[in-house]
Amino acid sequence: MKDPIGGTSRVGSKGRNLEDLRRQNLSTVLSLVHANRSMTRADLTHATGLNRSTVATIVTELESLDLVTVSQPVDTKRVGRPSTVIGPSPRHIAVAVHPDKDAIAIGVVAMGGRVLREFRFDVEHAPSAVHTVNTLHALVRGLELSDGGTVLGIGIGVPGLVGARDGVVRVAPHLDWRDEPLVDMVASATGLPTWAANDATCAVVAEGQFGQGVDEENVVYLNGGAGGIGGGVIVGGQLLSGENGYSGELGHMLVNSDGGLCHCGAIGCLETEVNRDDLLGVVGLGDAEANLLEQRLRDAYGTDQDVTELVDRQLTYLGVAMRNIVNIFNPGVIVLGGFLGALRNATDARLQDDVERSALAGPASEVRIVSSTLEDNVLIGAGELVFRTILRDPTSASTGIMPGAERVAAG
Amino acid sequence: MKDPIGGTSRVGSKGRNLEDLRRQNLSTVLSLVHANRSMTRADLTHATGLNRSTVATIVTELESLDLVTVSQPVDTKRVGRPSTVIGPSPRHIAVAVHPDKDAIAIGVVAMGGRVLREFRFDVEHAPSAVHTVNTLHALVRGLELSDGGTVLGIGIGVPGLVGARDGVVRVAPHLDWRDEPLVDMVASATGLPTWAANDATCAVVAEGQFGQGVDEENVVYLNGGAGGIGGGVIVGGQLLSGENGYSGELGHMLVNSDGGLCHCGAIGCLETEVNRDDLLGVVGLGDAEANLLEQRLRDAYGTDQDVTELVDRQLTYLGVAMRNIVNIFNPGVIVLGGFLGALRNATDARLQDDVERSALAGPASEVRIVSSTLEDNVLIGAGELVFRTILRDPTSASTGIMPGAERVAAG
DNA sequence: CGATTTTGTTGTAATTCCAGTCTAAATCGC
DNA sequence: GCGATTTAGACTGGAATTACAACAAAATCG
């Protein structure tokens, strides 16, 4: 738009009308029910600050949209009339997918972050995009036959760079994917609206909503997987996605100028210096026994010299990354997943001490460093990608699903 | 709050009422006028998507709050009735302060990001907090006598870590400040509401609003100053402030494992490896001649061996930092200020090439690397800290200023 | 100089949230 | 066991905000 007076004017945020107001309140209430899994209507009144009668009409509308269930009050042993219980409806579900090096995981996720069913399809070699799509497609067809609810859409967590706007997987090194138009492929095959994002990004969304990041505004998630280290960040309660959804690649931060060559082409990246295979090797575990890593490390650390040296070296470099993260983001909590969580747990407070000593005193003083305890955080987060639309605008649920009409990607 | 059914419930975002709706629309309109410096009422109608009559009532209310001025239409040579021009009122002003190693800069800033007057008080040694407060206090008393408008408050950009909640300067190394309750000091002395933040944070706010970051959602600002390197980040259109306002300390990122010891205690920080004094020294300039640096570097780079070596080394390390930044934030633009801007300009596209080669292909492909051209970006940004309150809630202007009543800090 | 285009102004309608009143359903205290 | 107290749901009327439509005003166009 041209401004005849002051040059080019900027199109700012839009104005709001009464419809937006109602939409926002519907969204607030539904999001609360989603986040808390279950609340009484009185709780909602207090949490929102809205009038009782307003909450009543909003809940009624959400109920008529089949988004919440209203059930009888439960025995609270408190004075006064008991309040009706509002829960997320199990009718609207999302299908979450996590293709990885060794398996394709697919989950059926309901609102409230509940994984209703989970499937794991092991693969010998990293699955291709087509393989992933076919597996998913087959499962979705089966689900539709068995009924059980409305599939709102499909959310995919990919170990690689995913374009936020186009849903194209720019590169997924450990799957050997390049420029795969994943969202379009899935949407065409299944006819369902589809979203995709980096898997660690999905994980941090789940951690922020249901895991270690609950009640936190600033959360950094670092995942140590088979292939490498991924990152996801929430700042000010909002997901950090960047210009194209590529942000949060914390695994490719310099931690050692004299380090090895990373597959990304750079030297001394975090994921080159800190990796799972070396740890598994030194304690004599195979790829499939990664779940035993924490115990083995705890047993050998401090007694076995090879293990101690390796762990110390990796902790040092992990500490450098975390120092940077603390200085850059000033987060309230850093959540470690995968083998990074094992590394932390096996060495007690060492990482925390490290960071408090090396980072700037201000941001270092209040950061909590914890390990993830939320199972399936990638699947839950991928489900959140799907639910996000309906949480933002609950009235969109009424429009029904137009197969293939919507193909969206999210970072 | 306890949830009798599902454990502890979370207090989510509040519900909205009609008052909030109106507040939000007032805010939207005022923010547009502020950002564009001047718009017609018809422009506002298009930009907001609101009805003409609604915009009319909103503008009338803003005018009665003395926040905007309504003036006669100007000759646009376009068909149709010309629209009235709405501009930010010059009556509400902010006093912006930037204490630094060599001087205390103070500006009188009006809405629309206009620096009405600017003062510079040179100092021999880094000024103390008390010195800064006294200088500011004296100037504010003078301003009040000369009238000219309502001083909404005071915004301070500090080269150091500033607590977002308490307004305490945790540490400002180059000023030799530690745990100075700056906001409280200034608020008590002047009786005016006061905000403080890191100076690079102020700068990125200004760049995002009026400088190189206009129309960008993801902006990283890196400033090379006399003391060191500061950073500020905008993600998704929002200022990155972190848990306590300490975020954005990009100067303390590891760029060289074999580097020097930084005053922060760590090894090989960006601000240790890339610094102004070395550059000034190699081209034979004094501290006060920093403004000549760019030309000198351009002349000597590629011809003088010492200069070329030093510049190449600093570019390499700056490139490492920018690689990290690109991988972490996936920004649309990186703005370089101070001597970093000079370094970039003197070496043409080298930095851009460097980053495109070393960062991940996805985020690297679309980032612009530019130098700041906005004079006084710290002062303008410090002013924004003050205006932010009134931009968010224009009705708060009517309450008038209660001396000493409000003491707030912003990250 | 009238036709066209665009914008300001005004009164009405629709929608939303709130406040107050009455009713329902639990616990508390005797 | 039963009334008092407490808390929440249901309902109705009122205030505020935006949208809409019709008309007036002020420019350009032909």
Q: What is the CATH number of the domain that holds B64?
A: 1.10.10.10
Protein CA B55 to sugar C1' C9 (Å): 12
Q: Considering its fold, how many domains does chain A have in total? A: 3
| Per-residue pLDDT, A3 | 30
- Tell me: pLDDT of A399 over 60: no
Bases along strand C below 7 A from a protein CB: 4-11, 14-20, 24-28
| Per-residue pLDDT, B111 | 94
**What residues approach strand C to within 7 A at the CB?**
A 18-19, 21-22, 25, 49-54, 57-58, 73, 75, 77-82; B 15-18, 40-42, 45, 52-53, 55-56, 78-84
Residues B65 and B98 in one domain: no
Residue B195 lies in a domain: yes
| Per-residue pLDDT, B398 | 58
| Per-residue pLDDT, B211 | 95
Which one is predicted more confidently, B9 or A220?
A: A220
Protein CA B54 to sugar C1' C6 (Å): 17
Bases along strand D below 7 A from a protein CB: 5-13, 15-22, 24-29
User: Are A363 and B243 within 8 A, CB to CB?
Assistant: yes
**What residues approach strand D to within 7 A at the CB?**
A 15-18, 40-42, 45, 52-53, 55-56, 78-84; B 18-19, 21-22, 25, 49-54, 57-58, 73, 75, 77-82
Q: Report the C-alpha gap between B43 and B56 in whole angstroms.
A: 12
Residue of A16, A170, A330 lying closest to B24 (CB–CB): A16
Residues B232 and B328 in one domain: yes
Give the nucleotide nearest to A42 (CA→C1').
D8
pLDDT in tens, A297-352: 999 998 999 999 999 999 999 999 999 999 999 999 999 999 999 999 999 889 99
pLDDT in tens, A27-36: 999 999 999 9
CB atoms within 10 A of CB A220: 29
Residue B3 lies in a domain: no
| Per-residue pLDDT, A186 | 96
Check if B362 contacts A (Cβ < 8 Å): yes
Protein CA B52 to sugar C1' D23 (Å): 15
Parent domain of B68: 14-88
pLDDT in tens, A153-186: 999 999 999 999 999 999 999 899 999 999 999 9
Annotate A276-304 with b (16+ C-beta within 10 A) or e (fewer). beebbebbebeeeebeebbebbeebbeeb
pLDDT in tens, B301-312: 989 999 999 999
Check if A322 contacts B (Cβ < 8 Å): no
Residue of B74, B231, B258 lying closest to A5 (CB–CB): B74
User: What is chain B's mean pLDDT, rounded?
Assistant: 90
| Alpha helices, H only, A225-360 | 270-273, 276-282, 293-300, 305-329, 339-346, 350-358
A interface test, pick of B1, B2, B5 with most A CB neighbours within 10 Å: B5
Q: In Å, how far is A38's CA from the nearest CA of chain B?
A: 6
- Chain A residue whose CA is closest to B74: A5
- Chain B residue whose CA is closest to A23: B16
Residue of B1, B331, B361 lying closest to A243 (CB–CB): B331
Residue of A43, A215, A328 lying closest to B253 (CB–CB): A328
User: Are A14 and B21 within 8 A, CB to CB?
Assistant: no
- Chain B residue whose CA is closest to A255: B254
Residues A147 and A276 in one domain: no
Which one is predicted more confidently, A383 or B286?
A: A383
Check if A56 contacts B (Cβ < 8 Å): no
Q: Report the C-alpha gap between B40 and B68 in whole angstroms.
A: 12
**Of A67, A88, A109, at which residue does a domain stop?**
A88
Work out how many CB contacts closer than 8 A connect A with B. 274
Residue B347 lies in a domain: yes
Give the pLDDT band (50/70/90) at residue A143.
Answer: confident
Q: In Å, how far is A279's CA from the nearest CA of chain B?
A: 23
Which one is predicted more confidently, A8 or B24?
A: B24
Residue B385 lies in a domain: yes
What's the token pair of residue A40?
């009484």
A interface test, pick of B267, B327, B334 with most A CB neighbours within 10 Å: B327
Which residue bears the tokens 């420029």? A179
Residues B179 and B257 in one domain: no
Residue A202 CB contacts under 8 Å (≥ 6 apart), including other chains? A98, A155, A157, A232, A377, A378, A379, A380, A381, A382, A384, A385
- Tell me: pLDDT of B146 over 90: no
Q: What percent of chain A has pLDDT over 70?
A: 92
Residues A59 and A176 in one domain: no
User: What is chain A's mean pLDDT, rounded?
Assistant: 90
Residues B232 and B165 in one domain: no
| Residue of least CA–C1' distance to C19 | A51
Which amino acid is residue A344, in one-letter code?
R
Backbone φ, ψ for residue A245 (5° rounding): 85, 10
Residues B344 and B218 in one domain: yes
- Tell me: pLDDT of B144 over 80: no
Is this model's pTM higher than 0.85 or not?
yes
Give the pLDDT band (50/70/90) at residue B132.
Answer: very high
Find residues 107-146 of chain A whose CB sits inside 8 Å of chain B.
none
User: Are A362 and B163 within 8 A, CB to CB?
Assistant: yes
Residues B53 and B191 in one domain: no
| Residue of least CA–C1' distance to D28 | B79
Residue B408 lies in a domain: no
Q: In Å, how far is A4's CA from the nearest CA of chain B?
A: 6
Give the N- to C-terminal CA distance of chain A in Å, as an integer: 28
DSSP-based three-state secondary structure for A20: helix
Query: How many helices (H) and strands (E) in chain A?
Result: 14, 18
Q: Report the C-alpha gap between B198 and B260 in whole angstroms.
A: 25
Protein CA A66 to sugar C1' D6 (Å): 33
Check if A80 contacts B (Cβ < 8 Å): no
Find residues 200-229 of chain B whose CB sits inside 8 Å of chain A.
214-215, 217-218
User: Are B244 and A54 within 8 A, CB to CB?
Assistant: no
Which amino acid is residue A332, in one-letter code?
G
Q: In Å, how far is B255's CA from the nearest CA of chain A?
A: 7
pLDDT in tens, B75-115: 878 898 999 999 999 889 999 999 998 899 999 999 999 99
Closest CA relative to residue B253, chosen from A323, A366, A248: A323
- Tell me: pLDDT of A408 over 60: no
| Per-residue pLDDT, A76 | 79
pLDDT in tens, A231-282: 999 999 999 999 999 999 999 999 999 999 999 999 999 999 999 999 999 9
pLDDT in tens, A83-92: 999 999 988 9
Residue of B21, B28, B253 lying closest to A324 (CB–CB): B253
Span B33-60, average pLDDT: 96
Residue of A74, A247, A328 lying closest to B247 (CB–CB): A328
Residues B83 and B132 in one domain: no
Span A104-130, average pLDDT: 93
Check if A395 contacts B (Cβ < 8 Å): no
Which amino acid is residue A179, in one-letter code?
D
Residue B355 lies in a domain: yes
User: Are B28 and A12 within 8 A, CB to CB?
Assistant: yes
The partner residues of A86 in beta bridges, in order of sequence, read: A39, A70
Residue B237 lies in a domain: yes
Residues A78 and A96 in one domain: no
Span B252-262, average pLDDT: 95
Annotate A38-54 with b (16+ C-beta within 10 A) or e (fewer). bbbbbbbbebbebeeeb
pLDDT in tens, A38-73: 999 999 999 999 999 999 999 999 999 999 999 988
| Per-residue pLDDT, B310 | 96
Residue A44 lies in a domain: yes
**Of A88, A119, A136, at which residue does a domain stop?**
A88
Residues A364 and A380 in one domain: no
Give the pLDDT band (50/70/90) at residue A147.
Answer: low
Residues A279 and A352 in one domain: yes
Contacting residues of A for B17, CB less than 8 Å apart? 21, 50
Give the pLDDT band (50/70/90) at residue A377.
Answer: very high
| Per-residue pLDDT, B81 | 93
Protein CA A84 to sugar C1' C26 (Å): 13
- Tell me: pLDDT of B406 over 60: no
The CATH number of residue B264's host domain is: 3.30.420.40
| Per-residue pLDDT, A406 | 42
User: Are B243 and A12 within 8 A, CB to CB?
Assistant: no
CA distances to A231, A234, A316, A354, B266 from A364, in Å: 19, 18, 16, 10, 13
User: Are B253 and A10 within 8 A, CB to CB?
Assistant: no
DSSP-based three-state secondary structure for A223: strand
**Of B40, B66, B88, at which residue does a domain stop?**
B88
Give the pLDDT band (50/70/90) at residue B403.
Answer: very low
Protein CA B18 to sugar C1' D14 (Å): 14
